[in-house]
Chain A
Amino acid sequence: TQLLEQSPQFLSIQEGENLTVYCNSSSVFSSLQWYRQEPGEGPVLLVTVVTGGEVKKLKRLTFQFGDARKDSSLHITAAQPGDTGLYLCAGYGAGSYQLTFGKGTKLSVIP
């Protein structure tokens, strides 16, 4: 079983602060995706990372895939209330067609 551990589980910060969310595993993933989910809605894809060491930026969000493709991080700069939501990482393990989800990080950005 390939597990993805996300940390922290909960995060409450003030508007304007920076934060980093982590997604770790002992297994290698061929690709890893980050989603954001708001209450009562489905997850919305933010980014897919495929190559070890890859860094992708999406406005104030920076995503990094670890060199060994076992971990990933999401960094948000100058967080805004609109960033509030559940951030999920998910990945395809090597040779697996099933997307494994982490438990998510619930982010609250306080104005």
Chain B
Amino acid sequence: GAVVSQHPSWVICKSGTSVKIECRSLDFQATTMFWYRQFPKQSLMLMATSNEGSKATYEQGVEKDKFLINHASLTLSTLTVTSAHPEDSSFYICSASQSRGMDTQYFGPGTRLTVL
């Protein structure tokens, strides 16, 4: 149980284009979903927290107009990287939990984004 999927698993795009990444909880309802990014040989850095039906809360330094997050249902959240640039290349990982509190987070397999 508690499986989270991400799609796509990897994507290569040209600079200036937008990329959408999907995060799905497959066997549970995710009240809260989180988006992280991880640079090579570094740990996970939280980008934003989204609760179903409300606007995402972004961490300091994360541009909300560049990283659009939608959490329209209890099983799906999307992250859209708008006007991507090479510095946005990273490993993006989502996680999901069943409550808004300090609940266990289940992580997706990640999406490798490469911007040329």
Instruction: Using known A-B contacts A98-B46, A103-B43, determine if residue A48 contacts B104 with beta carbons closer than 8 Å.
Output: yes
**Distance, CA A108 to CA B109, complexed state (A):** 21
Which of B42, B45, B101, B107 lies in contact with A42, CB distance below 8 A?
B107
Q: Count A interface residues, CB 8 Å.
A: 22
B: interface residue count bin = 20 to 34
CA gap between A98 and B106 in the complex, in Å:
14
Cross-chain pairs A/B with CB under 8 angstroms, 23 sampled: A33-B104, A40-B112, A41-B110, A42-B6, A42-B95, A42-B107, A43-B44, A43-B93, A45-B104, A45-B107, A48-B104, A88-B44, A92-B102, A96-B102, A97-B49, A97-B100, A97-B102, A98-B46, A99-B46, A101-B43, A101-B45, A103-B43, A104-B43
